[in-house]
């Protein structure tokens, strides 16, 4: 019996267990919810025969994992719901540069300057407003959320939310540090310590009349309306006047690990995701905005061409992330 156990141990040492990182498979560290990425990956596998295995977690945790694993990582690609984390990975030299022909399809303000990551889908920071709310018409800018008239009427996420941090970075770069600090301080006064951990909960609270206005990513409004078409809510596209900064955008995107041993297949996945087919799937599945030009967004969301976007390149969300976090902490945001 001891010999059997010994032989079993010997074989387990000499013959490594099967891993998913086979020649026809890709391992992706994914900071996106599976439900947003799996439908697109499914079509890629059907078309190419290349299996994709998603290791899903928070984007920040996965970037740290990639950094710690270094050349020993099993990851071939990294997907994040936030341009900030993608740029941090680039700055830490975790990704390889992709071919120009792969990335040039996407506008240069929605990808890394050195082609180490590329945006796949975009989201807009907008306001959700209860249609029955009184004295709310003065709100047409995110900076109006600091107005004392919204005391106890405002819904925002906690300040660790990736979209919150990214949006604050855009406002800081577009409107200045001082104005953004005043905005944060005013919002803190309006919400106290009563913040939400999910955008969907903000939309629900506004729909139920518990809050009059909330700051959310645009698609949460339409997901709620898809389930509750008679909900008393409407979208407000903020900061659209000539003297205002425009809507804050953020992108979900993808990068190829510097240490991948499946470079060719990894590039094939990126090329599929930025193709017309891949971009249409993102639009239909997630109600996000395709980053590839001339691909229609979902019919229920406002066309990207219909509103002004703040002129902040997405790679700045990573480069200024620490400065943004310092500002948020300085303002004492919950």
Tell me which DSSP letter residue 171 carries.
Answer: H
Q: Is the pLDDT of residue 19 over 90?
A: no
Rg of the chain, C-alpha, whole Å:
22
| Dihedral, CA of residue 277, residue 281, residue 283 and residue 285, to nearest 10 | 180
Please compute the mean of the pLDDT values over residues 33-44 and round it to a whole number: 93
Q: How far is CA 63 from CA 86, 94, 110, 321, 333, in A?
A: 8, 9, 19, 14, 25
If one compares 172 and 6, the residue with the highest pLDDT of the two is 172
Q: What pLDDT shows up at residue 318?
A: 95
Beta pairing partners, 9: none
Kindly tell me the sign of the dihedral angle through the C-alpha atoms of 174, 286, 290, 115: positive
CB 232 within 8 A of CB 136: no
**pLDDT digit string (tens) for 225-275?**
999 999 999 999 999 999 999 999 999 999 999 999 999 999 999 999 999
Q: Do domains 2-121+250-300 and 123-248+320-331 have the same CATH topology?
A: yes
**What is the dihedral angle through the alpha carbons of 67, 75, 322, 186, rounded to the nearest 10 degrees?**
-150
Residue 80, strand partner residues: 253
pLDDT tens across 151-209, in order?
999 999 999 999 999 999 999 999 999 999 999 999 999 999 999 999 999 999 999 99
Does residue 129 carry a pLDDT above 80? yes
State yes or no: pLDDT of 34 exceeds 80: yes
Lookup result for tokens 């518990």 = 210
Please check the confidence at residue 332 and state whether its pLDDT lies above 90: yes
Q: Sorting pLDDT into bands at 50, 70 and 90, what band is 132?
A: very high
Query: What is the predicted pLDDT for the residue at 23?
Result: 67
Please check whether residue 113 is in contact with residue 106, taking contact to mean a CB–CB distance below 8 angstroms. no
CA-to-CA distance for 320 and 87, rounded, in angstroms?
A: 10
Instruction: Enumerate the β-bridge partners of residue 119.
Output: 253
Q: Given a cut of 60, is residue 123 above it in pLDDT?
A: yes
Using the predicted structure, report yes or no on whether residue 42 has a pLDDT greater than 50: yes
For position 309, what pLDDT does the model report?
98
How much is the average pLDDT of 89-95?
98
Q: What is the largest CA-CA distance in the chain?
A: 82
Task: Read off the pLDDT band of 285 (50, 70, 90).
Answer: confident
| Residue 315 in tokens | 């790679």
Residue 10 has pLDDT above 80, yes or no: no
Q: What residues does each domain of the chain span?
A: 2-121+250-300, 123-248+320-331
CATH number of 2-121+250-300: 3.40.190.10
68 vs 21 pLDDT, higher one: 68
CATH code of the domain occupying 123-248+320-331: 3.40.190.10
What's the CA angle centered on 24, arms 22 and 27, to 5 degrees? 65
Confidence of residue 282 (pLDDT cuts 50, 70, 90): confident
Q: What is the mean pLDDT of residues 135-162?
A: 97
- Average per-residue pLDDT for the chain: 93
pLDDT exceeds 60 at position 51: yes
User: Residue 6 — pLDDT band, cuts 50, 70, 90?
Assistant: very low
pLDDT of the residue at 306: 96
Question: CA-CA-CA-CA torsion for 320, 325, 329, 332, nearest 10 degrees?
Answer: 100
Range with the lowest mean pLDDT among 18-22, 42-46, 222-226?
18-22
> What are the Cα distances from residue 98, in Å, to 121, 254, 256, 262?
18, 11, 8, 13
């Amino acid at each position: 019996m001891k010999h059997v156990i010994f032989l079993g141990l010997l074989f387990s040492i000499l013959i490594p267990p099967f891993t998913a990182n086979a020649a026809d498979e890709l391992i992706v560290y994914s900071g996106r919810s599976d439900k947003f990425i799996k439908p697109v990956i499914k079509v890629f596998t059907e078309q190419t025969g290349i299996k994709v295995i998603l290791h899903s977690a928070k984007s920040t945790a996965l970037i740290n994992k990639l950094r710690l694993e270094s050349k020993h990582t099993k990851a071939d690609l990294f997907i994040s719901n936030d341009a900030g984390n993608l740029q941090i990975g680039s700055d830490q030299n975790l990704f390889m540069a992709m071919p120009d022909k792969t990335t040039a399809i996407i506008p240069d303000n929605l990808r890394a300057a050195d082609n180490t990551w590329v945006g796949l889908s975009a989201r807009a920071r907008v306001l959700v407003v209860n249609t029955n709310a009184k004295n709310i018409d003065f709100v047409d800018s995110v900076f109006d959320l600091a107005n004392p008239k919204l005391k106890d009427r405002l819904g925002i996420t906690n300040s660790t939310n990736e979209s919150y941090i990214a949006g604050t970075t855009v406002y800081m770069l577009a409107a200045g540090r001082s104005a953004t600090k005043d905005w944060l301080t005013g919002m803190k006064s309006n919400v106290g310590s009563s913040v939400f951990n999910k955008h969907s909960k903000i939309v629900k609270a506004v729909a139920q009349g518990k809050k009059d206005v909330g700051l959310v990513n645009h698609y949460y409004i339409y997901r709620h309306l898809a389930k509750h078409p008679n909900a008393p809510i409407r979208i407000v596209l903020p900061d659209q006047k000539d003297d205002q900064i425009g809507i804050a955008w953020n992108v979900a995107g993808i990068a190829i690990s510097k240490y991948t041993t499946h470079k060719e297949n990894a590039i094939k996945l990126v090329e599929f995701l930025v193709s017309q087919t891949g971009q249409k799937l993102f639009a239909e599945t997630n109600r996000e905005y395709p980053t590839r030009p001339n691909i229609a967004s979902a019919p229920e969301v406002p066309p990207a061409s219909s509103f002004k976007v703040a002129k902040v390149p997405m790679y700045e969300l990573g480069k200024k992330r620490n400065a943004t976090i310092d500002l948020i902490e300085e303002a004492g945001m919950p």
